[in-house]
Amino acid sequence: MNIVVLVLLVLVVLALLAVMSRNRLVRLNISVDEAFAQIEVQLKRRSDLIPNLVETVKGYTNHEASTLEAVVAARAKATAATSVADVAAADGSVTQALRGLLAVTENYPDLKASANFLALQEELSTTENKVSFARQFYNDNVRSLNQAIKTFPSSLFVNSAKVSARPFYEVEDPQDRKAPTVKF
Amino acid sequence: MATAARNFDFRKLQAGNRRKSGELLFGMGIIVGAVVWALMTYFGKGGIAIVPVAIGVALISVWGSYWASDKIVLTMTGAKLLDENKNRQLYDLVSEVCVAAGLPLPKIAIVEDDAPNAFATGRDPEHAVIAFTTGILRLMDREELQGVAAHEMSHVANRDTLVSAIAATTAGALAILTDFLMRIMIFGGGERRDDRDNQNPIALIGSIVVLILAPIAAMLLRLAISRKREALADLTAVQFTRNPAGLRRALEALQADTTVVQQRSTSVAHIWIESPLDNSATSKLFSTHPPLSERIATLKAMEGLS
């Protein structure tokens, strides 16, 4: 009699553990989706800032048409992207084009002093920070999910939870490669 | 901003810290157990009845201040909610940290006070408040303030209001229990003497020692938990911003600054980023925060500067 109770107890505990690890996988998978949606929200916000920025810069500069066009073109391409890799690639080129534009504005003291541009600059830098934090949050979530998929016991429930390893959000940024190596 | 540092081991440090604060909470449980044992040794099984009463009283007194912590602390410190158009930059950098933390935007408040300091409270992320003094806004640049905001959002993310409410409840219940028992031991309990005639005298002396030491031990554990949670908030802040330098420079600025928050009420001392009480007079054992120099050293190690 006692042995039966004991076996039943062990079975109940095992079943609980199984449900918990499966739920954990489902939860992590949802967090990854939410984190990716957050990236898209922030990219959209940045994209909405661009026309205003381009207009402001145009008003103060004469021969920067190519830099401005690069920003507008990168923005147009970014709106079409859907997959993680495409969004990340488009994101990278917008970041780069914007950086080029901001570098050019250094040559126009009038522009840099204008109240409109200063407000835009704060908004642009906070949005840029949010984009980069959203990427980081997404990658952290992907990391947790991929780790759970590979490790026991959650690895047993990958099929039943219908989850699979997700790609990291990697932005091609030439400045990253130039970054000095950090010693630890 | 995030590229320079990818590999520092804040995850390992966080896991270690979480384990230690768990152990400290467990230690409080052991003290409760010891007091219950002392109670049973001294009064027999009938003494148990008072335990739920003490826990109930402590729960009632702590729970209200936990549940309404956002409103109570705002009133106590005189903090005013931020007008987002008036201080765009602060609003922006707090919302950046929220994106990094994956948390909803808290209420942001400002305390009129020349001393640089900041705090966070609220029972859960949906009711969180983080506040900055006007002094800290004057003293620090954007990156430093971001480090401070990340430290405060870490308290929200780590549910530190709940942790300290649990610690306060346990310490409060122990204080009530031991106070009550000591009174009975000294002033009354004469008619119960028969129960104890055949008791082991060593157990009786042991139970008295437990009753004397328990409230002190509980207070020290509560402070140790507070220090652990502060250190954890620094680590979680680095997880959010991946920029230990910002918070490190902010703490250095706090260290260099000598003005002290005017409100020195001990009841809200633990919630500020830097302890508003005079640290130099008290030893580390009795303070709510780890020493600034220690926190700065940890952050420097993460920057690879040590």
DSSP helix, strand, coil percent of chain A (3-state; round to 5): 80, 0, 20
The model's pLDDT over B50-96, given as tens digits with 9 standing for 90+, comes to 888 888 888 888 888 888 888 888 888 888 888 777 888 899 999 99
- Give pLDDT, residue A75: 85
- Counting Cα atoms < 13 Å in the Cβ hemisphere of A22 gives 12
Is B247:B238 a contact under the CB 8 Å cutoff? yes
B108 pLDDT band, cuts 50/70/90, is: very high
Closest to B228 (Cα-Cα) out of B175, B168, B288, B178: B288
- Give pLDDT, residue B6: 40
Lookup result for tokens 């984009």? A131
Nearest to B7 among A35, A134, A184 (CB): A184
What does the radius of gyration of chain B's CA atoms come to, in whole angstroms?
22
Residue B235 CB coordination number (10 Å)? 26
| Count of domains for chain B | 1
Say if A22 falls within a structural domain.
no
Is residue A52 over pLDDT 60? yes
Is B151:B234 a contact under the CB 8 Å cutoff? yes
The helix/strand/coil state of B272 is: strand
Q: How far is B240 from chain A (nearest CA, A)?
A: 8
The model's pLDDT over B281-298, given as tens digits with 9 standing for 90+, comes to 455 666 778 888 889 998
- Give pLDDT, residue B4: 37
> CB under 8 Å to B133, separation ≥6 — which residues?
B110, B111, B112, B113, B114, B115, B116, B117, B118, B261
- Give pLDDT, residue B72: 84
Provide mean pLDDT across the span B105-128: 89
Mean pLDDT, chain A, rounded, equals 83
- Give pLDDT, residue B211: 85
Collect all residues of chain A within an 8 Å Cβ-Cβ radius of residue B93. 126, 129
Collect all residues of chain A within an 8 Å Cβ-Cβ radius of residue B241. 133
Q: Are B100 and A136 within 8 A, CB to CB?
A: yes
Is residue B24 over pLDDT 90? no
Task: Please give the C-alpha separations between residue A120 and each of A43, A94, B67, B152, in angstroms, as whole numbers.
Answer: 16, 16, 40, 27
Collect all residues of chain B within an 8 Å Cβ-Cβ radius of residue A119. 88
- Give pLDDT, residue A10: 93
Strands B107-111 and B80-81, sheet pairing: antiparallel
Is residue B268 over pLDDT 50? yes
Say if B2 falls within a structural domain.
no
Say if A59 falls within a structural domain.
yes
**How many Å apart are CA B66 and CA A145, to the nearest integer?**
33
Is residue B26 over pLDDT 80? yes
Q: Which of B85, B91, B99, B306 to mutate to test the interface with A (most CBs of A within 10 A)?
A: B99
Say if A16 falls within a structural domain.
no
Instruction: Quote the domain boundaries for residue B159.
Output: 10-303
Q: Are B5 and A183 within 8 A, CB to CB?
A: no
The model's pLDDT over B208-230, given as tens digits with 9 standing for 90+, comes to 888 888 888 888 888 888 888 89
The model's pLDDT over B186-197, given as tens digits with 9 standing for 90+, comes to 776 544 554 555
Say if A5 falls within a structural domain.
no
B2 pLDDT band, cuts 50/70/90, is: very low
Scanning every residue of chain A, which has its alpha carbon at the shortest distance from the alpha carbon of B95?
A130
Is residue B272 over pLDDT 80? no
| Count of domains for chain A | 1
Is residue B250 over pLDDT 80? yes
The model's pLDDT over A119-173, given as tens digits with 9 standing for 90+, comes to 888 888 889 889 989 999 999 999 989 988 888 888 888 888 788 888 888 886 6
Which H/E stretch holds residue B111? strand B107-111
Tokens of A111: 């522009």
Nearest to B3 among A35, A129, A176 (CB): A176
B198 pLDDT band, cuts 50/70/90, is: low
B5 pLDDT band, cuts 50/70/90, is: very low
Say if A10 falls within a structural domain.
no
Q: Is B253 exposed, middle or buried (0-12, 13-18, 19+ CB in 10 A)?
A: middle
The model's pLDDT over B118-163, given as tens digits with 9 standing for 90+, comes to 989 888 889 999 999 998 999 999 899 999 999 999 999 988 888 8
**How many Å apart are CA B129 and CA B124, to the nearest integer?**
10
- Give pLDDT, residue A103: 84
Catalytic residue ranges of B: 152
Q: Are A136 and B92 within 8 A, CB to CB?
A: no
Scanning every residue of chain A, which has its alpha carbon at the shortest distance from the alpha carbon of B3?
A176
- Give pLDDT, residue B3: 36
- Give pLDDT, residue A91: 85
- Give pLDDT, residue B248: 94
Closest to A50 (Cα-Cα) out of A122, A124, A128: A124
Is residue B98 over pLDDT 90? yes
Cα dihedral A40, A43, A48, A50, rounded to 10, equals: -160
Say if B188 falls within a structural domain.
yes
- Give pLDDT, residue B109: 92
Collect all residues of chain A within an 8 Å Cβ-Cβ radius of residue B2. 132-133, 136
Give the amino acid at B33: G
Say if B4 falls within a structural domain.
no
Q: Are A134 and B96 within 8 A, CB to CB?
A: no
> Does the interface predicted TM-score (ipTM) exceed 0.85?
no
Say if A52 falls within a structural domain.
yes
Collect all residues of chain B within an 8 Å Cβ-Cβ radius of residue A179. 3-4
Instruction: Quote the domain boundaries for residue A102.
Output: 32-171
Is B153:B99 a contact under the CB 8 Å cutoff? no
Nearest to B100 among A137, A176, A179 (CB): A137
